[in-house]
Chains A and B, each alone.
Chain A
Amino acid sequence: MYWKYVVRRAIYGIMMYIVMIFVFSTLFNSVADSTMRSQIDEQVAQESLGWKNLTPDQRDAKLASRRADKIRQYHLDDPLPSRIFFRSIRTLTFDFGNSTTIKASNGDRLVIGIIGEALPRTIVLFTTEVALVTIVGVAMGLYAGRKPNGLLDRTVSMLTMITNGLPAWWLAMLAIMAFAYNIPIFPSGGLHINPAPTGFAGILDYLWHLSLPLLTLFFLGVWGTAYLVRNIVLSNLQEDFVMAARARGVGESKVLFGHTLRTSMPAIMTLAILGLFSSIAGNIIVEGIFNWPGIGNLYFEAVQQNDVPILMSTLAIETLLTMVGFVILDIVYGFLDPRIKVGGTA
């Protein structure tokens, strides 16, 4: 029964998720423990340089007190197994708690609030980019596949090699050099000018700041997607059922969209859904270059600050969404291609 497969697949996904959260918690807490203790010692020692006119005893007392403060701050005074277990349980129940150092813009240290600020920025940039790349890439791939060695096909092949052969950050820098400095039609980065305009002007300003990173990412991504779709389509166009359709006198558009595209959809949907879900992880380097404070930047900062609650929570959310993506893919495969009966009986 198909629904049994869906339930089984969902349960399997949940179990995998639980295991992964415990693994993350064990890794982060155990690694962070020794690192944080060393950093606390270093930090307090550095702070002590400003202490004047203290006797050695007073100095020792103050050093010990400051170390104890920091150890409490990072909960390093709790036993390690307890930290691993409770952090996992809290994460699994979506009780992300407070970050240790990173703050939301309103000053709160609630992890959900901090992620809630960064995530929409990432979605606006990267998820929009994935959506645009998918739509345009599929269209271009279809047409490129229909006319192999045509102008579009050759262009797609060539630009795929170029854009995939060069590092994203380098192309991003080139885009900034070209359109922020040489032909200064876009800002070099950030969300807004300073001070940020409000109302409709604020929206326009935001879109203006979004344009260059979005166009850059789109340019980087669309050719590869088109090339992939082109190859899938090209392969399907050689299939017997397509030949048969053409032999029956079915129109070329119907062959392309009705027969070829539908058959190619599982692969294209895999690409699109995984791309969409993984897009919420952002991109540390591109966000850094375009000064776009999304999830990628947040994750990078959390690694630098050893902010375990933030690290755990961002990874938990991203893992969860990826898992959900896989489950959804498994479910929709059956609908997209009648030949696929995953989990069904023959």
Chain B
Amino acid sequence: MKKIRAFALVAALATLGLGAQVKGPIVDKILIDAKTSEDIAIKDVAAGKSDLFDYGSSGAVYKGLPDDIRAKLDPYAVTGALYNDLYMNPYPNKAPYTATSKDGKVQFNPFAIREVRFAMNFLINRKKIIDEILVGAGQPMFTPVVPGQPNSSKFGLEASKLGFTANGNEAKALADIDAALQKAAAADPKLVKNGQWWNYGGDPVTVNFLIRVDDPSLRVPMGRYIADEIEKAGIKVNRLEYDRAKCTAIWYKSDPADYQWTLYTDAWGGGQTYAFWDGSIAQMYAPWYSFMPGGGKAGQWQYENADLDSLTQACVNGRVKDSAEYYDKLMKATDIGLQEALRVFICATTSYTPAAKDRFNSRMLWGSGDGINNFSLYSADVKPDTTGQFKGEKVLRLSEFSSKGALFMSAWDPIGPDGFGDTYSSVVIKNVSDQEYMANPITGLPFPASGSWSNVKTGAIDWSKTPAVGSIAVPASAVLWNTKDQKWESGINYVDVKGDGSTYDYVKVDPGKNTAWSEATYTYKFGRWHDGRDIDINDYRYAMARPYDLSYKHGDNDKVYEESYASAINPNLPRVKGVVFNKNNTITVYGDANYPMDQATLATLLMPSLMIEASNYGDILPWTVHEALKTMVAEGSASKTQWVFNSNGDLSEVDLLSQACTSDILAKMQELAAKKAVPPALVGYLTPAQAVSAYEKSIAFIQKHGHAVISNGGFVIDKYDSKNNTMVLTAFRDPRYPFPKGWFTKELSTTYLRIDGIKVGTFSKGKDLTVSATLNDIAFPAGTAKATTKADVKVIIVAGKDIVAAGKITKAGTAEATFKAGELAGLKAGGSYTVIVEAGSAVDTANLIVF
């Protein structure tokens, strides 16, 4: 009895403790508005009228602010949200290196010679661009991998091994270009050097360089500088300073064989923190990804490279047996890409997002690739208001940058691929909807949030078959949603019938012989919808069925089928071979996914999610809203407006924030509630009374808030004022919400090692060489630095064969490695060598000159 009493007491105390635990984000409210002037918005932050301006200003803008303004700001600096490369037209990419333009003129294309393209890596002084044009706000970039991001050091090493340095080597580059052109001239007598300039058929060899005039702070001066450098090699440059539209029409649309352009100042958005770079390497180097000259467009000359295609396809599609093979293939692809040099990467720019220094109690979390993100708002901790209507509450005042003054440019359409597509829609919805897993803002790796995984397994895969066949048996009890018969069914697969992405259908499979590459079991913290209904396994059941309804075309009159959604989601659906809804409310999925580099990533590839949309913008809605949308689009609306998913020139796109759409959603929900309609995928799992109760809760929410964005995240959209372009988000403090206040900060705070300097010193042959590095442990997100006392340090001198020395911490913050004179005997006097310092996961390089 005493034991029971003691147990009851402990249980009561525990319950009280749990009850006292406040759930949700740290701030109580977020007030969002839009600013049309970047300058005014920054000054508003400095003046305390706004806490955060969610826009990354360039180094020139930020560093150009008066000192008294900057003193009041706490900027979040992110490198790589934008990066630049020099993109080259290699047509014909083989001797005799001539192209015939549309006017019939035969021109010599020096950049058709691989060696000339490769020499650009040495001709461009990246440091000069960063120092003089970016006023120090940037980092040199050699590969498509953004420096400072996870695993970027592996790729940086490939570039270092090829001798690339930030300063470049103009003399070497000019010599290499000259040698390559002399070789070409030996084979083609029309190519001759006449004084300073190379001529072909009597005319100067001239290249067309597209320079983006609408980027006056970077691409114009950078383009002009590169053009000047190229002319030093005796190649005349026609500087075509055009705007985006004109440049794109030429470099992207025209046939490379027409030779309308030779060079282009290319730029890209980084977007997020990546852990794996297969997609970027494929995109920037491999022809199959459609980003190389020709772009896979029919009728145009195509840049081809079978090795790059094969290597990157294996990495992107998980056709590798382990991490070692993955990196082996990816590094080979990187090396080929660097050698081919169709894109020479130049720099990653640093942008600054200003926050009000005095308003925050601590720094927010942010992404190393995307800066301010959903974690930032979840972890924002501001001082409470002392006056006004929110007195005593922690209110974050956030401003967006919008040239029109509108908060969001995209419709909040949860099905159409363009829905939630603009930056700020994506930022807000990710604070309103919580995914089952999230990507760590520093490592880029997925971590369990409201869902977790276990028993993740991959069996042997027979890659010789098409499609490849796995060896994990799919149990007979595993089901898929059969939208044709509107029932959960075992013994079927949904397949790409012809293997070319054109036709998808169900096929019967022998229950005993159905196999998958992998399996995993998923457990969920179900939480609660913002309308007050508990999330349960049926919500997942519905979310797993709905994509099939939208993607399978039952016939020409199928009004539920959504073509744009189907084209986006159909390639992913065949991955799932069968699903088992376990009695303990877990879900086991069997599917054809393989990602040997990271088990968590593999688990996420198969993970059932409440998210139905295809574009991964992150919106999550209950089935009550989806059912209302489905019937509203398929059967018509109360207002007679013809709503559609996906933007269309004539019809109205579904928008959960618009009053007109919300009214029709509400009317449809009331109609469904009156009919006691149970969604087909939930028949047998949900009673009509439960369905009506669910509808009633959603109806009450919509009536209260005036929009249909019901979700499960840390913030509820309390009020959306479309006329004044403002929004009020209120913290979701529901006890069933999975995350206690401060959970994200605690979970994601970390310390990482940073190399803050390398001292190589002078080296004369016959003497020992000591390399020292300054190391600091950086606390994230506080940003404070502490001298490192413990780290694995290795120093490599890249020569014909790498010379390696182990380093050790000699005093706090300093590591040293010594090379014996004998080890360095092979270094040539007068030579320049790259020194690589590896400390933990940090890598940096320096130059060694041998005297």
Contacts and interface: CB of A to CB of B under 8 A. Distances in A.
B496 A56 contact: no
Contacts of A291: 34-37, 40, 405
Interface string A64-95: 01100100111100000000000000000000
Contact of A189 (B40, B404, B722, B728): B40
A61 to B, nearest CB: 3
- Count class of interface residues, chain A: 35 or more
Interface in A77-125: 97-98, 100-103, 105-109, 117
B316 A173 contact: no
Contacts of A191: 723-725
B178 interface: no
Nearest to B279: A49
A47 to B, nearest CB: 7
B553 interface: no
Contact of A39 (B245, B289, B290, B563): B245
Given A105-B722, A293-B36, A194 B397 contact: yes
A246 interface: no
Given A59-B288, A73-B648, A189-B36, 7 more contacts: A35-B248, A45-B295, A49-B271, A63-B290, A72-B648, A292-B36, A298-B404
Given A62-B501, A66-B417, A73-B648, A194 B40 contact: no
A188 interface: yes
A61 B564 contact: no
20 contacts: A48-B290, A53-B316, A58-B500, A59-B290, A61-B567, A62-B567, A103-B411, A106-B660, A107-B658, A109-B653, A176-B43, A181-B47, A191-B723, A194-B721, A196-B724, A292-B36, A293-B404, A293-B406, A300-B403, A301-B403
Closest A-B pairs by Cβ, 5 of them: A107-B658, A61-B501, A105-B722, A293-B405, A58-B501
Contact of A58 (B571, B649, B652, B659): B571
B748 interface: no
Interface in A36-58: 37-39, 41-42, 45-58
B249 A69 contact: no
Contacts of A49: 271, 279, 283
B304 interface: no
A117 B405 CA distance: 13
A184 B35 contact: no
Nearest to B466: A55
Contacts of A109: 652-653
B43 A181 contact: yes
A297 B403 contact: yes
B719 interface: yes
B40 A289 contact: yes
A146 interface: no
Contacts of B32: 194
B403 A288 contact: yes
A82 B397 CA distance: 48
Contacts of B409: 101
B507 to A, nearest CB: 18
Contacts of A287: 36
A47 B288 contact: no
B616 to A, nearest CB: 6
A345 to B, nearest CB: 53
A190 interface: yes
For chain B, give the interface size range. 35 or more
Interface in A201-248: none
Contacts of B316: 52-53
Nearest to A184: B47
Interface in B222-265: 245, 248-249, 252-253
B496 to A, nearest CB: 7
A195 B721 contact: yes
A192 B403 contact: no
B403 A304 contact: yes
B291 interface: yes
A97 B563 CA distance: 24
B318 interface: yes
A252 interface: no
Contacts of B450: none
B724 A194 contact: yes
A337 interface: no
A263 B37 CA distance: 45
B240 to A, nearest CB: 15
Contacts of A69: 417, 563-564, 567, 646
A108 B660 contact: yes
A292 B719 CA distance: 21
A74 B652 contact: no
Contacts, number: 208
B286 to A, nearest CB: 10
B40 A53 contact: no
Given A53-B572, A65-B563, A188 B245 contact: no
Contacts of A59: 288-290, 501
A34 interface: yes
Interface of A: 34-35, 37-39, 41-42, 45-63, 65-66, 69, 72-75, 97-98, 100-103, 105-109, 117, 173, 176-177, 180-181, 184, 187-192, 194-196, 287-289, 291-293, 297-298, 300-301, 304
Interface of B: 31-37, 39-40, 43-44, 47, 49, 245, 248-249, 252-253, 269, 271, 279, 283, 288-291, 295-296, 309, 313, 316-318, 397, 403-406, 409, 411, 417, 496, 499-502, 563-564, 567-568, 571-572, 575, 593, 605, 615-616, 646-650, 652-653, 655, 657-661, 719, 721-726, 728
A68 to B, nearest CB: 9
A199 B725 CA distance: 18
A102 B404 contact: yes
A102 to B, nearest CB: 7
A58 B496 contact: yes
Contacts of A103: 406, 411, 655, 658
Nearest to B33: A194
B496 A42 contact: no
B317 A53 contact: yes
Contact of B40 (A54, A57, A58, A176): A176
Nearest to B389: A195
Contacts of B499: 55, 57
A58 B32 CA distance: 40
A59 B290 CA distance: 9
A55 B313 CA distance: 8
Contacts of A60: 290, 296, 501
B44 A188 contact: yes
A280 B471 CA distance: 70
B658 A106 contact: yes
A295 B726 CA distance: 19
The CB with the most chain A CB atoms within 10 A, among B44, B289, B404, B616, is that of: B404
B330 to A, nearest CB: 15
Most buried by B among A188, A287, A292, A298: A188
Contacts of B43: 176-177, 181, 188
Given A60-B501, A61-B502, A109-B652, A66 B721 contact: no
A286 B209 CA distance: 36
Contacts of B649: 72-75, 98, 100
A277 B658 CA distance: 32
A53 B36 contact: no
A339 B317 CA distance: 85
A297 B404 contact: yes
Nearest to A187: B49
Nearest to A39: B248
Contacts of B661: 107
A180 B47 contact: yes
Nearest to B594: A53
B493 to A, nearest CB: 16
B164 to A, nearest CB: 25
Contacts of B37: 189, 288-289, 291
A297 B406 CA distance: 10
B307 to A, nearest CB: 15
Contacts of A75: 649
Contacts of A56: 288, 309, 313
